Homo-oligomer: A and B are copies of this chain.
Amino acid sequence: MSVEKLQITLSEFKKAKPDVDHLEFGTQFTDHMFVMDYSSETGWHDARIVPYQPITLDPACMVFHYGQTVFEGLKAYLTADGEVLLFRPEKNMARLNQSNERLCIPPVNEEFVIYALKRLIQIDREWIPAKEEMSLYIRPFVISTEPYLGVAPSKHFKLIIIMSPVGSYYKSGVNPVKILVENDYVRAVAGGTGTAKTGGNYAASLKAQEVAAAKGYSQVLWLDGIEKNYIEEVGSMNIFFIIDGEAVTPALNGSILEGVTRNSVIQLLKHWDIPVSERRISIKEIFELHEEGKVTEAFGTGTAAVISPVGELNWKDKTIVLNGGKTGEISQKLYTTITGIQKGSLPDVLEWTQKADEGLLVK
C-alpha cells in the first residue's frame, strides 16, 4: 500500500487535554485514530486517520468469541527541543507481524504502518505531555471482524491505532516492587501463544494477578508450565538478575514474549562490557545463589516502566530481599540511560530512536 493511500479526516472539534499532573494510564485518548481494514479478497485496504470514535460490530464478530487478536505497545516522547521521538518502532511492527503469524492474521506492511503512525502522531502532537518522564502511549491492535461462529481464521480484520498520554511511571524516583512467584497458574508453554502479544495470554494472567494483589504483591513472576521450576517473565515485563557481576535473563524458549526493552537492555549491557547470559534459570537456583550473596540485583524490563527493580521475591512462602529492597546500581544506570535516550537528553549511542516527522510527506 502506498503512502498516498492514507485518507485523513480531521475531527471538527478538539477534546480538552487532560491535566498532565493527574494522568491515569490508558484512560484518555487523543482526538484521532488510525484504522485499516482487511478482507481476504482485497487484502489490507482503506487505511485512514479519522476522529477517535467507537467501533460498531455485529455481535457474531469473531473477536467476541474466539480471541483472534494481537496488539502492540510503544511510546512517543517529546524532547526538550520540541522534537518527537519514537523508540525502536520497527521492533514493535516486526513483533506485530510475528504475533499475526501465530494467530493466523495476515501480515501488515510494517513500513506503511509506521508511516501512518507518524502521521497520526503529527496530527495529535499536542497530546504528548512535555514533562519529564511523560510520553504518549501508542496501542496498535488487530481484531477479527468476520460475523461467523465457525472456529476458523477470520476473513476480515481491522488494524486500529489509538494513543493515550501517560504520566511518569514512578511518582518519586525509581521504586522497587514486590513480586510473587506463581505456583498454581500458568501463563504459557512452548507450542502455545506465549511468544505472541495476544489477548488470551493476558486473560489467562488475570486470576493470578488478583491473588497476588490480595497478598500485597504488585506483580506475578511466571514459572514454566511444565516443571514449574524455570523462570519465564513477569506480568508484562521480562526479567533480569545480576549474578556475580553477570546479567542473566531467561532465554527465548518459545513461551516468553521477546520484549523490545529486554533486547535494548542486553545491547546496552554488552555495550558497557557487562557480560550477559540468556539461559534457563530455575527459581531454586535464584534462591540458593541469593543465600550465597551472589544475586545482587533483579529487575523487570518493559515499555511501561522501562526498568522496574525487584525489591522482594516470594516463592512458596519464602521471601528474599534483593539489594536491601533498594534500586541497584545497574538498574538505575539502565533506567537513566534508556529514558535519557528516549527523551533525547542523552546521546543515542545505539541508534534506537526515530524522529516522528521523518519520512513524512506533509511537514
Contacts and interface: CB of A to CB of B under 8 A. Distances in A.
Interface of A: 25-27, 29, 33, 52-60, 63-69, 71, 102-104, 137, 139, 141, 143, 147-153, 160, 162, 164, 184-193, 198-207, 209-210, 225-226, 235-236
A202 B151 contact: yes
A67 B202 contact: yes
A112 to B, nearest CB: 20
A218 to B, nearest CB: 12
A202 B164 contact: no
A102 B207 contact: yes
B186 A191 contact: yes
A206 B56 contact: no
B151 A236 contact: yes
- State the number of copies, please: 2
A235 B67 contact: no
A23 to B, nearest CB: 12
Contact of A148 (B26, B143, B147): B26
A151 B205 contact: yes
A261 B27 CA distance: 43
A164 B59 CA distance: 12
Nearest to A203: B67
12 contacts: A26-B150, A54-B56, A63-B199, A64-B141, A67-B198, A67-B200, A67-B201, A69-B203, A149-B164, A151-B236, A153-B206, A187-B192
B60 A162 contact: yes
Contacts of A66: 199, 202-203, 206
Contacts of A190: 186, 225
Given A59-B54, A63-B63, A203 B210 contact: no
